[in-house]
């Protein structure tokens, strides 16, 4: 069976549908790659594409998408709720089948070197592809954001590849290799941004909260409501039901109800089964109890 790699690039454009459609077409035009999902958010002004295929095809698609994005997105006019460093903010490669993490690290480094050489954009490596311990966590790299990064490119943020000057329209890019993660948001029935930020701080690992959880509080506009936005870095360590419970209990304690959850991109089948099992109070709901999974296996 050929090896399969997933790529989940995050692009700093979530409002212009014609541009987003064009970027999706760039991916689907790459032979050997399948576009699995696309999610856009106008408040975050961000789109997340999920595609997969054999490593060589995924590498070609990632480079083609980066090239197309740099032609279509200019960071000098970009505004959005989500932290970001560049037009293509982050490009993770995820081993799915028949591919090792080490091979995805090598793939990330090849793509990073190509982007730096072709586009003269600062490149940072993160997660398993990080070259230094202070760049394993994406938030640590992204903290200055696009507007503040230029001042740090000669000090704390010397890039792993490319120039020590910020590209005016493309910004910078973060590329890495990691296990599957779940991007999951919970919307609150309130416009109290401070409440969402407090809940996010209490539950994220870096503040002493739940292990393998990253979280931030945001304000959405249509309609106005606060959001707790999260990355579950390892759903076997902290599950979706646990995250929901922790956010909901804190919101309810403040007299606020939870409106809904939002999944960005895709999630592993085992994570969905764990969530369904918890909701239905079913013990032993695993993939061999799912009809389609039995056929696929």
Is residue 60 left, alpha or beta, with left meaning phi > 0 and alpha meaning psi from -120 to 50?
alpha
Q: Is 82 in the active site?
A: yes
**HSE-up (13 A, CA, CB side) for residue 262:** 15
Residue 126 corresponds to which tokens in the numbers above? 């993160």
Beta bridge partners of 182: 232
- Give first-to-last CA distance, the chain, whole Å: 13
Residue 249 Cα to chain centre, angstroms: 26
> Long-range contacts made by residues 150-155, C-beta under 8 angstroms, separation at least 24?
153/122
Catalytic, out of 82, 119, 157, 167: 82
Give the DSSP H/E element, type plus range, for residue 111.
Answer: helix 101-119
Q: Can you tell me whether residue 44 is helix, strand or coil?
A: coil
**Do the bridges between strand 123-127 and strand 173-177 make them parallel or antiparallel, or are there none, so unpaired?**
parallel
Give the contacts of 262 (CB within 8 A, at least 6 positions apart): 184, 185, 186, 187
Alpha-carbon Rg for the chain in angstroms: 19
Helix (H, G, I), strand (E, B) or coil at 258: strand
Residue 23 in contact with residue 68, Cβ under 8 Å? yes
Tokens of 228: 């707790």
Which among 5, 11, 6, 26 has a CA at the least distance from the CA of 174?
11
Across-strand partners of 97?
Answer: 4
Catalytic residues: 82
């Amino acid at each position: 069976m050929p090896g399969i790699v997933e790529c989940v690039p995050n692009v700093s454009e979530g409002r212009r549908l014609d541009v987003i459609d064009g970027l999706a077409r760039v991916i689907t035009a790459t032979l050997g790659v399948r576009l699995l999902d696309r999610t856009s958010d106008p408040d975050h002004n961000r789109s997340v594409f999920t595609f997969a295929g054999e490593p060589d095809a995924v590498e070609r698609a990632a480079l083609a998408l980066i090239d197309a994005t740099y032609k279509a997105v200019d960071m000098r006019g970009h505004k959005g709720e989500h932290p970001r460093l560049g037009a293509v903010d982050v490009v993770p490669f995820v081993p799915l089948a028949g591919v090792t993490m080490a091979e995805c690290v090598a793939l990330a480094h090849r793509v990073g070197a190509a982007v730096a050489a072709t586009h003269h954009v600062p490149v940072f490596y993160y997660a398993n592809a990080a070259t230094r311990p202070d760049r394993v966590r994406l938030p640590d790299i992204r903290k200055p954001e696009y507007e503040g990064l230029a001042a740090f490119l000669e000090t704390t943020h010397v890039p792993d590849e490319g120039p020590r000057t910020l590209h005016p329209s493309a910004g910078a890019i973060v590329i890495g290799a990691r296990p599957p993660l779940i991007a999951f948001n919970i919307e609150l029935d309130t416009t109290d941004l401070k409440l969402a930020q407090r809940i996010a701080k209490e539950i994220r690992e870096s503040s002493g909260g739940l292990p393998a959880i990253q979280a931030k509080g945001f304000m959405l506009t249509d309609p106005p409501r606060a959001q707790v936005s999260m990355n579950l870095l390892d759903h076997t360590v902290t599950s979706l039901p646990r995250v929901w419970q922790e956010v909901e209990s804190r919101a309810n304690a403040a007299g606020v109800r939870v409106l809904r959850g939002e999944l960005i991109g895709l999630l592993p089948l085992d994570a969905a089964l764990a969530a369904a099992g918890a909701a239905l109070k079913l013990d032993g709901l695993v993939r061999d109890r799912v009809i389609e999974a039995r056929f696929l296996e």
